Amino acid sequence: MSPKRFVNLDAANEKYGRHRVTRMGHFLEQGDPLADAAVIELAARPKPEQDVLMQALLDGDVSTLPPALQAFEAAVSATPMWVDRTRGDKGGELLLRHGLLSGLSLAFKSLAIGYCSPAGNKPLAFSARLTEDTSRRLGETAKFVEAVSLPRGMERHGDGFAATVKVRLMHARVRVGLSRSPKWSHADWGLPINQYDMAGTILLFSLLLVDGLRQLGVAVSKEEETDVLHLWRHVGAVMGVDHELLAATREEADTIWGLIQDTQAPPDDDSRRLTHALLDSAKARGAPEPYVSFTAALCRHFVGARLADALHLPKNAWVIAPAVVRTVIRPIELAIRALPGGRGAALKVGMLYWKRTTEVGQGHLTNFPLPSVERFEAR
């Protein structure tokens, strides 16, 4: 029997086909056994030994690893045959080159829509990290996106690969801890950080991020869109997402995302709490009130009126700002693409933005630490 979070099934069956809907429901109960076994193995050892084993794992020094970590290392090191590193690097360059615009799309479209899932947001809500330490968490997210987007970042010993492996183990540690917590309702939410939600996260950082750039006036070509999807398909493979849920084309991505969106309930109180913590985080960094109002208007534009109202996003005088931004960005984008050296110059500016963003959010200090299992059991 599917968790209660899996809703609107009759309409979804009619739209996507019963076999697809049934299969998607199956993934609400599927996690990441290899990563779970690895973190259980690590948790049984003293912290200094954990650090040594983690470094050996990232270095590929399998001779010193216990069996569970050896199996995990073999899985993450097996690069799928379909991976095209040139295409992945091009996808990463698109995100880096558009600097601030990519950052706005990531924060106020991708993350905000991710929070709208009233069951998928529960691991974040339980951890309280996005309301108690928002800037740090956003800095980590920006650092992760930057790392996987850099040239050769997803090669076996690249920074993006290492960040992906660490995030996968961090998710596994949270999943193991929440699964043991009496506060986690399996009947309502399914398995913590399950394949359904993991697939959604990959699409938030690829499909929806690209759509957000287009909403801001960036003319992303079909080829560029496919390159971004390819990069994050590779990230998803290393992250442990099931191969059935890794989209190779826009059409596949739309189907998977549509299934996810159409089979979940509307935003809940945790959705609103997380989204408003995201918007208010700029105040904590000293941003002026007009900027905070602008980002709220931008968020409404990105997520659409239905979700914006459900999230209690305010309507304000900045409602026309997204259209103004789009009007300004479009000719600049065309000039960058037409002028010799324009893309290279834009990439340098974009890289400065990502560097500054991760520093402001303390992302340059993070090593994506593994939270303790006990912390989630105690909540």
Question: pLDDT per residue over 246-280, tens digit each?
Answer: 999 999 999 999 999 999 999 999 999 999 999 98
Tokens of 105: 């799309």
Q: Is residue 273 within 8 Å of 131, Cβ to Cβ?
A: yes
Characterise 295 by phi-psi region: left (phi > 0), alpha (psi -120 to 50), beta (else). alpha
Compute CA distances 21 → 244, 254, 378, whole Å: 13, 14, 35
pLDDT of 364 strictly over 70: no
Tokens of 220: 């992303």
pLDDT of 22 strictly over 80: yes
**Nearest of 265, 263, 321, 323 to residue 295 by alpha carbon:** 321
Q: What is the pLDDT of residues 166-176, one digit of tens each?
A: 999 999 999 99
Q: How confident is the model at residue 374 (pLDDT cuts 50, 70, 90)?
A: very low
Among the residue ranges 85-94, 129-138, 301-310, the one predicted with the least confidence is 129-138
Q: What is the pLDDT of residues 43-90, one digit of tens each?
A: 999 999 999 999 999 999 999 999 999 999 999 999 999 999 999 999
Full residue range of the structural domain in which residue 252 is found: 9-30+79-378
- Write out the DSSP string of 240-263: T--GGG--SSHHHHHHHHHHHHHT
| Domain assignment present for 315 | yes
Q: How confident is the model at residue 114 (pLDDT cuts 50, 70, 90)?
A: very high
| Domain assignment present for 186 | yes
The total domain count for the chain is 1
| Domain assignment present for 343 | yes
> Which residues neighbour 260 within 8 Å (Cβ) at sequence distance 6 or greater?
24, 117, 196, 199, 200, 203
Helix (H, G, I), strand (E, B) or coil at 89: helix
Q: What is the pLDDT of residues 238-250, one digit of tens each?
A: 999 999 999 999 9
- pLDDT score of 209: 96
| Domain assignment present for 334 | yes
Task: Give Cα 326 distance to the centre of its chain.
Answer: 25
Compute the average pLDDT of residues 345-351.
83
Tokens of 99: 């600097």
DSSP label of 318? G
| Domain assignment present for 59 | no
| Domain assignment present for 35 | no
Kindly state the percentage of the chain with pLDDT values over 70: 93
Q: What is the pTM of this model?
A: 0.91
Kindly state the percentage of the chain with pLDDT values over 90: 72
DSSP label of 56? H
- pLDDT score of 372: 52
| Domain assignment present for 56 | no
| Domain assignment present for 182 | yes
Q: How confident is the model at residue 366 (pLDDT cuts 50, 70, 90)?
A: very low
